[in-house]
Amino acid sequence: MMNFLSVEDFSKSQIEEIFKIADELREGKCELALKPGAIAVLLFEKPSTRTRISFEVAMAQLGGNYIYIDPVTTQLSRGETWSDTAKVLSSYVDFIICRLYKHETLLEIAKSSTVPVINALTDQEHPAQALGDLYTIREAKGRLKGLKMALFGDTANNTFNSLMIAGAMMGMEIALIGPKANVPNVKFVSKAKEYGIVKLFDDLAEGVEGSDVLYTDTFVSMGEEAEADLRRKLFMPYQINQRVLEMADSKAVVMHPLPAHRGEEITGDVLDGKQSIAFEQAKNKLLIEKAIILYIAGQES
């Protein structure tokens, strides 16, 4: 049984196969299909707009069904374990798609499930987001290998953890640009370095030089609201704005997984500017999630 809990659950060749499926879906030439009546349960602890809707639409467009649940409205709120919940859910459905606070919870669910589990975000990783982002870069630039991607601000966040590994795996150079006081996750940096070049910078100008992709995310992730003022002060010097954009390659693209806090991690003029591909990035979430689901389903058949 194949789970997708981390970007490392897929090899480079498997990621390329998923991109090929996405291309075929876009062109209307994909011959893969879900089994009739396939159902996914979306088990979400955290709020979501793009990830929830795109996975729901993905299942519907592939001819399947979906059920959205959360801990508050299930027996999880009364003490049932994640393990017991996973055992029961996997006896009803074909996929469990999870958006959770703790990665350890995801591992517990996957250990107890008898159907594939897909990570739709935890505190450690956001692998489906990372694959969609790389697909979008490939679409915009025509390649991934040899490109330099600069990740700005909170270089320890979950999306960056997945993105740096997947990017390095696909032949990109990764620049983590943020304050010395905010240390990236050593485990993920070390893993990414096994695949390629990963460099850390606290000097913004030095880090951004020659970058083909400028990528930022919220300064205050879900669960960090109590530290909001401190985090904004810490990361504001690493905002992507017009001045920063001019330091990069003249054909650089700008990315953000959204929702964006305009005027904080990125300025509105850059987000809406001609070099921004943030909204195409959001659009491609649906396409790549359909490709992931079909790929996993194909391995199960």
Kindly list the structural domains of the chain, giving each domain's residue range(s) and its CATH number in brackets, ordered by start.
7-125+282-300 (3.40.50.1370), 136-277 (3.40.50.1370)
Give the CA distances from residue 284 to residues 26, 204, 221, 236, in Å, rounded to whole numbers and listed in that order: 10, 29, 22, 28
Give the CA distances from residue 193 to residues 171, 196, 297, in Å, rounded to whole numbers and listed in that order: 11, 5, 31
Tokens in use for 294? 């079909």
Using only the alpha carbons of the chain, give its radius of gyration.
19
- Asked if 152 and 188 touch (Cβ cutoff 8 Å), the reply is no
* Gap between the Cα atoms of 213 and 128, Å rounded: 19
Tokens in use for 229? 């003022």
* Gap between the Cα atoms of 146 and 84, Å rounded: 46
Residue 4 β-bridge partners:
118
Residue spans of alpha helices (H) in the chain: 12-27, 50-61, 82-89, 103-112, 127-141, 158-169, 186-195, 204-208, 228-235, 242-245, 268-271, 278-300
User: Which of 179, 169, 255 has the alpha carbon at shortest distance from 212?
Assistant: 255
Give the CA distances from residue 211 to residues 94, 152, 268, in Å, rounded to whole numbers and listed in that order: 41, 12, 20
Who contacts 13 (Cβ-Cβ below 8 Å, separation ≥6)?
none
Strands (E), 217-266: 253-255
Q: Which residues of the chain have pLDDT under 50?
A: none
If you search the block for the tokens 């480079």, which residue do you land on?
12
pLDDT of residue 230: 86
Tokens in use for 235? 């990361």
Q: Are strands 148-152 and 117-119 parallel, antiparallel or unpaired?
A: unpaired
Reduce the DSSP state of residue 114 to 3 states and report it. Answer: coil
pTM: 0.96
